[in-house]
Amino acid sequence: MPGFSLIELIIVILIASLFAALIFGQINFATKKKDKMGIFQLKKTRGILPGNAELVCSDRCRQCTVEAGDNRINIPSQFKPIKAYVLDDSGSPQEVDFGRVKEKKVCLRFHYYANGSTSQMILESEGKFYFVPSYFGNIEVFDDLDAATERWMHYRNQLDSMGTFF
């Protein structure tokens, strides 16, 4: 009697389900990477490439690229003119010069590390200052550089006190 046994049908259904999951997963991945990059998306970009990765924005921050080893994904940007600051050892903000890539000035270079941490910095755009923490927490908005610097120092002190706990 011709036909399929129950086991054969289950195997065919499992294989079809596997292919469907792979195809829809790639579609989801493709739509994720086409989202425009903005300040509040910085920490959300982490899952695009595995391991250590780096976001580099150039051409007046109109084009961003996430790179991890040989993998590279271009992401359109919605950044406005942007300045980045880090604190020196004395706690004073210093503007960061990210250099050039292929003769274009880099306006932002942001690192994603395999342990889940990111670059920590203060970003200035359109009169607002954004504190980007390296580990926990969300990006916070401030009206002036001093307030963002105070938040950075508070964050640093919290991490220092957590280290003595462990």
Q: Are residues 62 and 73 in the same domain?
A: yes
Domain that holds residue 8: 1-33
- pLDDT value of residue 30: 47
Adjacent-strand bridge partners of 71: 68
At 54, give phi and psi (nearest 5°): -140, 135
Q: Are residues 16 and 39 in the same domain?
A: no
| Residues 133-136: contacts with CB under 8 Å, at least 24 apart | 135/159
Q: Are residues 89 and 159 in the same domain?
A: yes
Rounded average pLDDT over 33-40: 63
pLDDT tens readout for residues 73-115 = 888 777 777 889 998 888 899 999 988 888 888 888 888 888 8
Using the structure block, give the residue that is written with the tokens 């086409």: 34
Helix (H, G, I), strand (E, B) or coil at 143: coil
The helix (run of H) or strand (run of E) holding residue 161 is helix 145-165
Q: Are residues 147 and 129 in the same domain?
A: yes
pLDDT tens readout for residues 64-83 = 888 888 888 888 777 777 88
Give the start-end residues of each E strand in the chain.
53-58, 63-68, 71-76, 82-87, 93-95, 100-101, 104-112, 121-125, 128-132, 140-142
The distance of Cα 163 from the centroid of its chain, to the nearest Å, equals 25
- Percent of residues, the chain, with pLDDT higher than 70: 80
Q: Is residue 147 pLDDT above 80, yes or no? A: yes
Q: Are residues 42 and 29 in the same domain?
A: no
